[in-house]
Structure 1
Amino acid sequence: MEIGAPVGRHSYREQFVFFYRQEEMSVIDRYQYEEENKDVLAREPFIVQFRRRSARLVKKLVLIPVHTKPKDAEHELRALHNVVQDARRRWGTNSIMILGDFNADGRYLSSTKRTNIRMSSRPYFWLIDEDADTTTSDLNDHTYDRIVVFGKRMNDAVVPGSAKPFDFKRAYRLNYDTTRSVSDHYPVEVELRDN
């Protein structure tokens, strides 16, 4: 397990945590991203570089977790390009995955506004379908949570059709109240090929 420092503004804080199987992956390095000039990101990412033990394709992988502030989603998503560039410079890799609660749908980010974000075009690939519901609410079907990979090689390593929300409500036959006590979002998942 790798745990980042508490991040957030004022008294509200969150921490990014990575759980991983040590027999499958090991941590190469990690760092807490810090913005240089402007305070655009409400929660600066805790970035981790992993080594995939059995993989031949994409042996090293950088994960950048995201949780944007809903009303600032557009500005924060624009700033994420700088985070990706920072990780690329630091570790000399293009094998990067950005994942988490982007708040990238509904009133927080229209499809028109999304096209103005640098990460909405190549070399970035958005893996979660636009019509996927990543919320546990019965009142909306927004796709707030996303997985985005950087570069063709990283996209080629993705098992086609594997990127999706994990509907734990259905999988574990939970009622609405129990589901909401766990989270108001479904986790998103993706599989990577080894070869």
Structure 2
Amino acid sequence: MDAHGRRAAQARPAPLPALLFLGAVLHALHLLDFRDGLPEVFHPSNRRHRPQAHECRRARELLGFKAVNLVLYVGLPIYLVGFLPWLTGFLVSTAVAGFVLSMVFQLAHTVEDAAFPVPCAITSKLEDEWAIHQVRTTANFATDNKLVSWLVGGLNFQIEHHLFPKISHVHYPAISKIVQQVCAEFDITYNNYKHTRSAIASHVGFLRQMGRTA
């Protein structure tokens, strides 16, 4: 692995345990909602000032929607089918959803061809400017597959998603052709896996590569 992979190699996960862990990502996102939505609770330094009106409103909205979520996805199903059937369905559905969601992002970032640049030891700055950094550290997959593009909401065009996050994904196929032309003109690697299976293979290969790195 070259210098670009040093930071990523520190984790050194084994492929199978790492893939199984992805199923828990949905539960982690639920917890992060509370951390980010209620900073005055999770970050003591924020308690020094009186909460502003918009912070209180945000906290009420977060807690309100979480309460609705608990009623619809926990309370009501338990009432209708019982605790054990609900628990089984809940664990299976969230594990599958979490695995699929996280795999989409893994295939777009943690693959063998994506770069993992580290800042200069002297200046603490990255060598590439912003746009080049986005291209080199991400990867596209199955961009010719309309079904995949629809299922993942255009996130298989991850390079374009990073470069133009506020543009609708329906325009990514056309934009990607322009981006590829510009990358070719300036000799910048444009990472694109033709099929989802090839991106998955590259991700697993990347995990194995990190596991072998001392």
Q: Indicate whether the TM-score tops 0.5.
A: no
TM range (shorter): under 0.3
> Which of the pair has more CA radius of gyration?
2
TM-score, length of structure 1 as denominator length:
0.23
Compare the two structures and name the one with the higher helix fraction: 2
**TM-score normalised per structure 2:** 0.21
